[in-house]
């Protein structure tokens, strides 16, 4: 399938079947797509927590709506490893590194027929407390994964995309 067709097919799934796990071999491929993603200076500061036990899923669902996903990936970066910009005080590439890792995993999931939704409606502080993250590990997003519970369709937001002319210009 052409990448653009895959990208157009993907939508945020918000109605997972919690009784249908993601196959281990598919999960391994999804994580592999994240492993090989580009990162600033190739420092690979990402840290991914696989959350699939009932107890951990329950904890995750208290932090943000996870839509009954049977597996969620908590994507973080490590402050001790991340690239820091000497030309801009206080700037590091952690959010970008984690996001490209997460995007790669999201599209690999789609390619495998596994639905997903990107989640950020959580408090980083509560995530760190709940999952006892070390001080240097910074949460960026949660990628919820799974199969839909029966009939599913994209939310209206999926088709409300701006025209290129609104977001792209030549300088
Ligand atoms: C940075 C980011 C944060 C998001 N946070 C949430 C979230 O917390 N909860 C949620 O249901 N969807 C969340 N989404 C999904 C967006 O709402 C969704 O991608 C957007 O509405 C377009 O819909 P589509 O993904 O179906 O094309 C987030 C997406 C991004 C990129």
Say yes or no: CB of residue 118 within 6 Å of ligand 1: yes
Say yes or no: CB of residue 134 within 6 Å of ligand 1: no
Say yes or no: CB of residue 143 within 6 Å of ligand 1: no
DSSP 32: H
CA-to-CA distance for 73 and 142, rounded, in angstroms?
5
What is the best residue among 12, 65, 124, 156 to mutate for testing ligand 1's pocket, by most ligand atoms within 8 Å of CB?
A: 12
Nearest CA to ligand 1 atom 27: 158
Say yes or no: CB of residue 48 within 6 Å of ligand 1: no
Q: Which CATH architecture has domain 3-149?
A: 3-Layer(aba) Sandwich (3.40)
Give this prediction's pTM. 0.97
The domain ranges of the chain are 3-149
The tokens for 164 are 């290129």
pLDDT digits (tens), the chain, 171 positions: 899 999 999 999 999 999 999 999 999 999 999 999 999 999 999 999 999 999 999 999 999 999 999 999 999 999 999 999 999 999 999 999 999 999 999 999 999 999 999 999 999 999 999 999 999 999 999 999 999 999 899 999 999 999 999 999 999
């Amino acid at each position: 399938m052409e990448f653009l067709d895959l990208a157009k097919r993907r939508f945020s799934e918000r109605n997972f079947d919690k009784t249908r796990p993601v196959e281990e071999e598919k999960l391994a491929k999804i994580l592999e797509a994240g492993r090989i993603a580009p990162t600033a200076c190739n420092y690979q500061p990402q840290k991914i927590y696989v959350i699939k036990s009932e107890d951990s899923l329950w904890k995750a669902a208290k932090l943000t709506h996870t839509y009954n996903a049977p597996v969620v990936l908590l994507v973080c970066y490590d402050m001790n490893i991340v690239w820091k910009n000497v030309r801009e005080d206080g700037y590091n590439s952690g959010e970008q590194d984690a996001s490209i890792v997460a995007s790669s995993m999201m599209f690999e999931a789609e390619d495998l027929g596994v639905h997903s939704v990107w989640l950020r409606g959580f408090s980083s502080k509560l995530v760190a407390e709940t999952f006892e993250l070390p001080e240097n590990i910074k949460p960026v997003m949660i990628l919820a994964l799974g199969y839909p519970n029966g009939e599913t369709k994209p939310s209206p937001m999926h088709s409300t995309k701006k025209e290129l002319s609104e977001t792209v210009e030549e300088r």
